[in-house]
């Protein structure tokens, strides 16, 4: 087996290590030459790989039986254009990894909620005594790359992978026993030519569906329910309302199998009775959208063999993931919540709509080209103040002001528009302004609807800084 690895981030390193363990001849390359990449190259050379930094040797890559490409490399990158010109195909790292899996596969995707749902599903299985391993696109050091899980001995009974659209785009034989879709909304439009193209990559989750496939779908999201098309398999929905989708059922749907009944998380497996888990008020995570995530994860774990009591224990013991509606402090009666992972409009809107106390909201970052106007209704209902910062601040202000004016135009319901405050300084300045405008009882929320790359290396760094400021660490 000859394998070429393009890109030496965490997934590239993991794929190279897996290929070497399987006796493959490995060539790896990366245009970067910084110290972390050089350290990765040194490790791989010590394991027997051939590595080039600063360039890609196309002739060497073309000799491979399999070419594995990092999800961080955009489709129009010169190296991929060169591969296309030679008529060569490539796969994503999860596609390569699952070829060596010995257990069953759960794959979780979606625009928002996929990390929490994947992590919670794995946690619930483990709490119920089922051997499960979490990996994939989780990020933030919370779980390893998919190929790292293939190295685990003994193999787990279930692999739980979070998979992004970028990773799904380059799959061929990827076929989970259980596939989960948490939500769909505009995102990554700085990389995709259209929303339809983005959804097409998500739909590759179903490309190898068969009659025994289990699909767990957000029943409150019509786009999610439409995504499988005519793919075979059984489709189980999760929704807060047990009657969701009853009037417009799609082929293959067996109804809502995870829902709230009298405020209690409840499951109804096809052919079985209702199973009560626990009151929603006892969940240790914030927000309506996290109720949906908990329902989706509980249904996933149940279909994978977890018993209700184990799921109940797991729900109680789960803790919020970093940067995802994570309470990070309370000062002077103001609760600080870090939702830095909300890097698109849908995520920020969902966060706002899930809260039941007045919000001072931090919005901004790198402009990804999304329409910000859909945020306006949620701002009106839940936010007293929105502090706009970063590269996107000017367009945020323009589009939100336009949408708010439209909402208050003659003939429409008059609304009490939130105050929009544009801050031209850095992130600390924006947080200080938000803190100044917050009152006791308010929730100070970082849910920026934008990526972090104008001011930070990633959303984790942005969230960490917010948490530091919540603790009163004022100096940068």
Q: Answer with the residue of higher pLDDT: 203 or 331.
A: 203
pLDDT classification of 431: cutoffs 50, 70, 90? very high
2-89: which CATH number, 3.20.20.140, 3.90.1150.10, 3.40.50.720, 3.30.470.10? 3.40.50.720
CATH superfamily of 97-317: Mur-like, catalytic domain (3.40.1190.10)
pLDDT of residue 412: 52
Please report the pLDDT score of residue 150 as a whole number.
96
- Alpha-carbon gap, residue 136 to 11, rounded angstroms: 8
Strands (E), 262-403: 264-268, 274-279, 326-331, 334-338, 359-364, 383-389
* Between 266 and 193, the higher pLDDT residue: 266
CATH number of 326-470: 3.90.190.20
pLDDT digits (tens, 9 = 90+) for 451-462: 999 999 999 999
**Structure tokens that stand for 434 in this block:** 């938000």
Q: Percent of the chain having pLDDT more than 70?
A: 97
Strands 104-109 and 50-53: unpaired
CA distance 41 to 358: 50
Asked whether the predicted pLDDT for residue 188 surpasses 90, the reply is: no
371-374-380-385 Cα dihedral, nearest 10 degrees: -30
Percent of the chain clearing pLDDT 90 (strictly above): 79
Average confidence (pLDDT) over 339-346: 94
Cα separation, 23 vs 39, in Å, equals 22
Specify the pLDDT at position 414. Answer: 42
pLDDT score for 476 = 45
Report the pLDDT averaged over residues 259-278: 95
pLDDT at 325 (0 to 100):
85
Note the pLDDT of residue 138: 84
Predicted confidence at residue 140, as pLDDT, reads 62
Task: Please report the pLDDT score of residue 286 as a whole number.
Answer: 78
pLDDT at 34: 92
**Per-residue confidence (pLDDT) for residue 195, from 0 to 100:** 93
3 state DSSP class of 467: helix
Tens-digit pLDDT profile for residues 97-145: 999 999 999 999 999 899 899 999 999 999 999 999 999 988 666 789 9
User: What size, in residues, is the chain?
Assistant: 476
Contact 423, 393 (CB under 8 A): yes
Average pLDDT for residues 37-63, to the nearest whole number? 96
pLDDT, mean of residues 143-164: 95
Averaged pLDDT score across all residues of the chain: 93
Tens of pLDDT, residue by residue over 191-244, are 889 999 999 999 999 999 999 999 999 999 999 999 999 999 999 999 999 998
Cα angle 471, 335, 422; round to 5: 85
Higher pLDDT, 465 or 289: 465
Segments making up each domain of the chain, as ranges:
2-89, 97-317, 326-470
Q: How confident is the model at residue 332, as a pLDDT?
A: 85
Q: Which two tokens stand for residue 415?
A: 């609304």
Note the pLDDT of residue 136. Answer: 95
32-47 confidence digits (pLDDT tens): 999 989 999 999 999 9
pLDDT of residue 247: 81
pLDDT band for 393, please (50, 70, 90 cuts).
very high
In terms of C-beta density within 10 A (0-12 exposed, 13-18 middle, 19 or more buried), how is residue 437 classed? Answer: middle
Who wins on pLDDT, 97 or 76? 97
Least Cα distance to 419 among 439, 441, 435, 404 occurs for: 404
Query: How much is the pLDDT for 271?
Result: 86
Instruction: Give the chain's largest Cα–Cα span.
Output: 72
Who has greater pLDDT, 228 or 351? 228
* Residue 474 pLDDT class (50, 70, 90 cuts): low
Closest alpha carbon to 393 in 433, 356, 357, 353 = 433
């Amino acid at each position: 087996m000859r394998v070429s690895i393009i890109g030496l981030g965490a997934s590239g390193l993991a794929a190279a290590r897996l290929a070497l363990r399987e006796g493959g001849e490995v060539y790896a390359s990366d245009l970067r030459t910084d110290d972390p990449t050089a350290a990765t190259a040194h490790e791989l050379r010590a394991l027997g790989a051939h590595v080039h930094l600063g360039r890609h040797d196309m002739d060497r890559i073309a000799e491979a039986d399999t070419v594995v490409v990092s999800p961080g490399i955009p489709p129009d990158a010169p190296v991929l254009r060169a591969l296309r010109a030679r008529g060569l195909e490539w796969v994503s790292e999860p596609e390569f990894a699952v070829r060596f899996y010995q257990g069953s596969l759960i794959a979780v995707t979606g625009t928002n909620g996929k990390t929490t749902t994947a992590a919670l599903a794995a946690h619930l299985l483990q709490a119920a005594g089922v051997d499960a391993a979490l990996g994939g696109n989780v990020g933030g050091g919370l779980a390893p790359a998919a190929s790292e899980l293939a190295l685990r001995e003994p193999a787990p009974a279930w692999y739980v992978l979070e998979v992004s659209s970028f990773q799904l785009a380059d799959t061929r034989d990827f076929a989970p026993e259980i596939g989960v879709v948490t939500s769909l909304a505009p995102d990554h439009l700085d990389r995709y030519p259209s929303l339809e193209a983005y959804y097409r990559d998500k739909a590759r989750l179903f490309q190898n569906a068969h009659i025994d496939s289990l699909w767990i779908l957000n029943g409150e999201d019509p786009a999610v329910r439409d995504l499988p098309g005519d793919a075979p398999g059984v489709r189980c929905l999760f929704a807060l309302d047990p009657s969701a989708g009853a009037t417009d059922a799609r082929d293959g749907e067996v109804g809502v199998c995870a829902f709230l009944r009298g405020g209690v998380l409840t499951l109804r497996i096809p052919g079985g009775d209702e199973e009560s888990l626990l009151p929603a008020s006892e969940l240790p995570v914030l927000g309506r959208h996290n109720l949906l995530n908990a329902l989706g994860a509980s249904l996933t774990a149940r279909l994978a063999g977890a018993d209700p009591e184990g799921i109940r224990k797991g729900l109680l013991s789960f803790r919020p993931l970093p940067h995802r509606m994570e309470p990070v402090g309370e000062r002077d009666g103001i609760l600080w919540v870090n939702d830095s992972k909300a890097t698109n409009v849908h995520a920020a809107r969902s966060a706002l709509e899930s809260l039941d106390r007045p919000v001072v909201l931090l919005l901004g970052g790198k402009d990804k080209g999304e329409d910000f106007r859909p945020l306006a209704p949620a701002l009106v209902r839940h936010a007293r103040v929105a502090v706009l910062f970063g590269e996107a601040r000017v367009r945020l202000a323009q589009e939100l002001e336009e949408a708010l004016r439209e909402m208050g135009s003659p003939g429409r319901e008059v609304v009490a528009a939130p105050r929009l405050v544009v801050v031209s300084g850095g992130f600390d300045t924006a947080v200080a302004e938000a803190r100044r405008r917050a009152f006791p009882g308010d929730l100070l929320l970082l849910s920026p609807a934008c990526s972090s790359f104008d001011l930070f290396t990633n959303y984790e760094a942005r969230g960490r800084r917010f948490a530091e400021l919540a603790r009163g660490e004022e100096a940068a």
